[in-house]
Structure 1
């Protein structure tokens, strides 16, 4: 069963005739459209991509081969809701689902008013396309593998530049340049490259701070390839490591290894957190429990791993494992890999070494 047939089955289950898709990663996933500012409407028998004049040719080249019709919403008084209303009439949709988490209030109110004039009901839905994206097929896995290979290579090329006197911002620029020179279509997300006490910030921002002797350096980054994102974190020490730095690093490394052991087809999202807490118990107050998440077209997708997790890992999921300890005023350590769940185990897609590297 292909994606379109699965969507039609979901429409029937929800008692609706069609769905308006506005979340960009969802649009890209179901249409094959590779850029921004496009929307999709899928009915029982027809499917449309709606974009503006800047992207019509691109949409026609990439989406028509996948069975989509393409509309320029600028031709409907520059109104996306009017274009959607037109599609509903063409497809004879009487109950239209919309992604409630991603539809802005102004678009909702305008669309609701237009559809009511045609006796069409607007119905909120959640997680429908994301359900299809939960596991990855062979093509998606190949794209994710390539994104991880690019990130591994870029980090390897950055290592010689990580030394005292170089700023976080300069290192960040070199890393992102290297990813693109190695084939990334874009960076996967805003790079985290921080040092010293700042490494206690799970999502700290690189700035003009220079690397100092004895600093931790934490780098959390990813490449994007064909729309798929890699996500990896490594933590280094520059110059010489203190006993406490070695202790914390090795504890996080052990915790990450245990977390990886807990990743398998059928495992609940809470399981790694339970086991990791046993290892980092001495420093549990400095532990952030969000130690993993799905990654694909979006950086953060289901399943989310942690004590709040609600999902089950399945064969085909691509998920990160990234436990960390963050001690305010001192620093922190995070080690992260992108992981593919196989039928009989896991494949770690990010290959960069995890032994503590002390960079001279």
Structure 2
């Protein structure tokens, strides 16, 4: 069964005759088209993408063969054109992506059809990756490996966090990265205790613990990695926390396999962190694919169970406010007998001198 057919099956189980896909990420997943101003409509026997003249050529070129691309006339809105076609076909009950439409969009739907909200429909299909998808993430992973080597050479005392961020992004794009996966985190010293710190003009100093969280997109697919660099001589406390986080991450990776409840992994990380566990307050990880943050979410409150082919991050951390932070993260594939690491970067505790 093809992707679009699996998506339509989700709608049919709810008694719907059509499924409107409006999330650009899901449109790309189903059709291959990565542009804007478009909507997909799925029915039992049709897989149709609607767009305007600005995007028509790209949509025709990028879309898979069984996706029929239609140009919407300039004198009518995209949704009005689609609703007119649905009405002409006598379609009544229509599923839509409830998390990705405006209230105005919903109100228009109600004037013509019986709309049925579906949350995380296509997203549920995206959780388990094909080998083709994994290969794209693997290639993105090779780029961040080179990014690590650049950091090991260029992350030095006397430069600002912002300088490192700008130069690292430029370097990765020259290697072939389509785009950065998210705004990079380069956080030195006390800034490392902020999990989502924004790079600042704070100058990196000898003895700093520097959290570097970065990732890239390759052919639409993302990868996410974090390494914490130790510059020069660091305190025994920093080294103790670093080694604990590193060892915890390694132990959690060993525990990953199909059928494992993600909350059990989070509980394991907290147990292994010991006294440092109270300073680990975010989720253990998340899914990665067309979006850098997608299902499943590896949190203590999640009821998700790992499946073979899922691509996830594992990123325990310890954050001591006003002092420093340590996080180590890899993107991995859940395989039958364990994990395949897609970000094969050293984590012995790099000392940049």
Distance 1:289 1:208, change over 3 A: closer
Map residues 148-187 of structure 1 onto 2, 5 A cutoff.
Answer: 148-187=141-180
Q: Taking structure 1 as reference, are residues 90 and 297 closer, same or farther at Cα in structure 2, changes over 3 Å only?
A: farther
2:97 matched to 1:99? yes
What are the equivalent positions in structure 2 for 1:182-197 lying under 5 Å apart?
Answer: 182-197=175-190
The yes-or-no answer on 1:141 pairing with 2:140 is no
* Distance in 1, Cα, partners of 2:207 & 2:307: 41
Point out where structure 2 has 5 or more consecutive residues left out of the alignment: none
| Alignment match, 1:89 | 87
In 1, the alpha carbon distance for the partners of 2:211 and 2:305 equals 30
| 1:33 equivalent in alignment to 2:26 | no
- Any conservation in 1 of the 2:24–2:34 contact (CA below 8 Å)? no
Match of 2:69 in 1: 70
The Cα of 1:111 is off from its aligned counterpart by 3.1
Range 228-237 or range 283-292, more displaced: 283-292
Taking structure 1 as the reference length, the TM-score comes to 0.94
Task: Tell me if the contact between 1:217 and 1:236 (Cα under 8 Å) persists in the aligned partners.
Answer: yes
Secondary structure in structure 1 of the residue aligned to 2:100: coil
CA distance in 1, matches of 2:161, 2:332: 28
Aligned to 2:13: 13
Deviation, 1:282, is 0.7
Give yes or no for the alignment of 1:209 onto 2:202.
yes
Alpha-carbon distance in structure 2 between the residues aligned to 1:256 and 1:67? 43
Using a 3 Å threshold, how does the CA distance of structure 1 residues 160 and 68 change in structure 2: closer, same or farther?
Answer: same
1:230 aligns with 2:220: no
The yes-or-no answer on 1:273 pairing with 2:266 is yes
Structure 1 counterpart SS, 2:345: coil
Point out where structure 1 has 5 or more consecutive residues left out of the alignment: none
Secondary structure of 1:304's partner?
A: strand
Provide the C-alpha distance between the structure 2 equivalents of 1:87 and 1:296, rounded to a whole number of angstroms. 33
Question: Which runs of at least 4 in structure 1 moved beyond 6 Å after TM superposition?
Answer: none
Q: Deviations over 1:29-53 (max 9, x none)?
A: 0011023343211111112212233
RMSD of Structure 2 on Structure 1 (CA)? 1.5
> 1:265 Cα deviation (Å)?
0.7
* Structure 1: distance between partners of 2:161 and 2:85: 50
**Which deviates further from its counterpart, 216-225 or 82-91?**
82-91
Cα deviation 1:139-193 (Å, max 9, x = unaligned): 1010010011111112212322111111111111111112111111111111111
Q: Shift in Å at residue 107 of structure 1?
A: 1.9
How far apart in 2 are the matches of 1:150 and 1:54?
33
The alpha-carbon deviation at position 101 of structure 1 amounts to: 1.0
Cα 1:237–1:149 shift into 2, 3 Å: same
Determine the structure 1 residue equivalent to 2:283. Answer: 290
Q: TM-score, normalised by structure 2?
A: 0.96
| More displaced 10-residue stretch of structure 1: 156-165 or 198-207 | 156-165
